[in-house]
Structure 1
Amino acid sequence: MALVAPVTIRKVTGDTATEKPDLLAVEEPLEIRLGFGPMHDRQQRSVSVTMRTPGHDQELAMGFLFTEGIVHKPDDIVSCRHCVQDEAKEGNVLRVELKPDVLVDWTRLERNTFTSSSCGLCGKATIEAVMAETAGPVESTLHLDAAVLHSLPDRVRDTQRAFAYTGGIHAAALFDADGRLLLVREDIGRHNALDKLIGAAFWQGWLPLHVHGVFLSGRIGVELVQKSWKAGIGLLGAVGAPSSLAVQMAQEAGITLAGFVRDDRFNLYTEPQRIRLPMPVEG
């Protein structure tokens, strides 16, 4: 399925209008279904419908299921593939088959959904809920030069094929201490882009990502910090600003949070010791 869709627009400049072709980021629903239970009593249940840009759907599903605490290791999953029986939803339904001995905590999934939708009501409760599902603060040994952070916006932008055509899609990039980009995933949704990235790392057995950082093309909401905490990410940087609750959660998680990473500047909100700053020049 395509990442972009052609359209004809009327482009207005001053008092002049001209018709021209353009490209838009594709947005379509993805339904994630779980197959679970013992072999003699297999069941199916829909667990999520998200609006996403098609591509890397399996990684999106695995990243979502991991960060929601449904699966914990790649071996929990038998298969992950698009359903072909429903022609009306061709390409937009993904079924994930779990091993018979994997027990699904449906109350956790419902609790997490409620928490993320109502996090503005009680930030403390949101953070405590995530703390209960993790092993404590991230134990990251990641340290990097400030120059690495400065270089990320342009280098990530250069890898964004869909953004180059549409200007309307987000990216999540995994990098190491030397600034090497190991994975980049794009999606019209910020959360989906990060789920795709974490899902890819999960499937390759890279978790926890204690010696890696993640760079995001948008702002940092609390849900993105939550997903990063679950994946053990040591540093989260973004072009945009973090929310107040995102900063609070990053502080509890021991994650270095850097916002406004652009134009050769950035702000550090938590755990600044992981960034090696240049020595000031004496006058």
Structure 2
Amino acid sequence: MGRITARRRVTRYTIGERTARREDHLTVEEPLEIRVGGQALAVTMRTPGHDVELALGLLVSEGIVHDREDVVTARHCAGAPPGASDGGGEFNVLDVRLAAGVTVPDSARHALTMTSACGLCGKDSIEAVRSRSVHAVRDDGVLVDPAWLAGLPDRMRLAQSVFERTGGLHAAALVDVERDELLVVREDVGRHNAVDKVVGWAVREGRLPLRGTVLVLSGRAGFELAQKASMAGIPVVASVSAPSSLAVDLAEEVGLTLAGFVRGTSLVVYAGDRRVRPTSVTATQVSA
């Protein structure tokens, strides 16, 4: 894996105490150009690591890739140092070769330029991202207990290795509801990148659509993250912070269960509360 943290000399000021000079760990942020068949599709700022998963997850969210068979190869371009593997920070161009018959729609042919804070900056309009996934969110009998759901962010936090050193990363995790199993956790300087890496992991493992799972987010649930969940067929999203109004609108439209402020012993369900069945806590309805 490539370099994901860097060391810098910093000055720490504590009021009423002596100033201290020390070395601190920072999260690495570098650009990644994602190409499809040699043609530039996107440039995103990311934390190096799991770059192939990041690219595949982005292609799922763009409606280009639907399962593992849609991808022939995904690798960093020539010029990478010998022995480098997926996620190397020394090279920042990755090319995906699609299977015969899998095409890039005209709406995605222009290169998308994204920052680590935004997964949709290259889109022409909100309507352009209301694409329909082949992995529709279904009512497939998934039920989650609020107490269990509220505990998922802490479980994800314990699995975050880089956050402990830097404190500057977002995280996304995928949890299997029936098995109560934390399937994968990914960290990145960009919240949308972390989700793309999780979905890309599912592509590589042949797990799409992600029925019976919960997507756990370390930050807020914006529209773009709800969109990515729906494109992967994920039925439940649990966010540590608040969702946006547009994320709630989308969740209601596609049948997604969206919970925010999932912390400690409480949470707020903004859409799809039919999948949340209290068994160990008291549900309280609040009227406007």
TM value normalised by structure 1:
0.86
Q: Match for 1:275: what amino acid?
A: V
Superposed CA deviations along residues 139-192 of structure 1, whole A, max 9, x for unmatched, are 343212112112112111110011111111011000022532111111010000
Q: In 2, distance between residues paired with 1:92 and 1:244?
A: 35
Of residues 18, 33, 36, the one that matches 2:35 is 33
Q: What are the ranges of 5 or more consecutive residues in structure 2 without an aligned counterpart?
A: 82-88, 114-118, 283-288
Q: In 2, distance between residues paired with 1:280 and 1:75?
A: 43
Q: Which moved more, 1:99-108 or 1:260-269?
A: 99-108
Mark the CA change 1:134 to 1:73 in structure 2 (over 3 Å): closer, same or farther. closer
Q: Is the 8 A contact 2:175 2:181 kept in 1?
A: yes
> For residue 101 of structure 2, what is the aligned residue in structure 1?
101
Q: Match for 1:67: what amino acid?
A: S
> For residue 75 of structure 1, what is the aligned residue in structure 2?
69
Deviation at 1:133, TM superposition (A): 4.4
Deviation at 1:53, TM superposition (A): 0.4
Q: Match for 1:180: what amino acid?
A: E
Alignment: residue pair count = 268
Q: Is the 8 A contact 1:68 1:112 kept in 2?
A: no
Q: Is the 8 A contact 1:10 1:18 kept in 2?
A: yes
Q: In 1, distance between residues paired with 2:265 and 2:137?
A: 29
Q: Match for 2:249: what amino acid?
A: Q
Superposed CA deviations along residues 99-127 of structure 1, whole A, max 9, x for unmatched, are 343322233455999x94498x976x36x
Q: Match for 2:152: what amino acid?
A: L
Q: In 2, distance between residues paired with 1:138 and 1:161?
A: 33
Q: Match for 1:276: what amino acid?
A: R
Larger fraction in helix: 1
Q: Match for 1:173: what amino acid?
A: A
> For residue 169 of structure 2, what is the aligned residue in structure 1?
169
> For residue 78 of structure 2, what is the aligned residue in structure 1?
84
Q: Describe the SS at the equivalent of 2:151.
A: helix
Deviation at 1:73, TM superposition (A): 2.2
Deviation at 1:3, TM superposition (A): 1.5
1:141 is aligned to 2:141: yes
Superposed CA deviations along residues 179-238 of structure 1, whole A, max 9, x for unmatched, are 321111110100000000000001211111121011000001000000100000010001
Q: What are the ranges of 5 or more consecutive residues in structure 1 without an aligned counterpart?
A: 36-43
Deviation at 1:20, TM superposition (A): 1.3
Q: Match for 1:33: what amino acid?
A: R
Q: In 2, distance between residues paired with 1:270 and 1:193?
A: 23
1:49 is aligned to 2:43: yes
Q: Is the 8 A contact 2:136 2:230 kept in 1?
A: no
Mark the CA change 1:151 to 1:104 in structure 2 (over 3 Å): closer, same or farther. same
Q: Is the 8 A contact 1:152 1:179 kept in 2?
A: no
Mark the CA change 1:168 to 1:135 in structure 2 (over 3 Å): closer, same or farther. closer
TM value normalised by structure 2:
0.85
Q: In 2, distance between residues paired with 1:46 and 1:118?
A: 13
Q: In 1, distance between residues paired with 2:225 and 2:274?
A: 21
- Where has structure 1 moved over 6 Å in runs of 4 or more? none
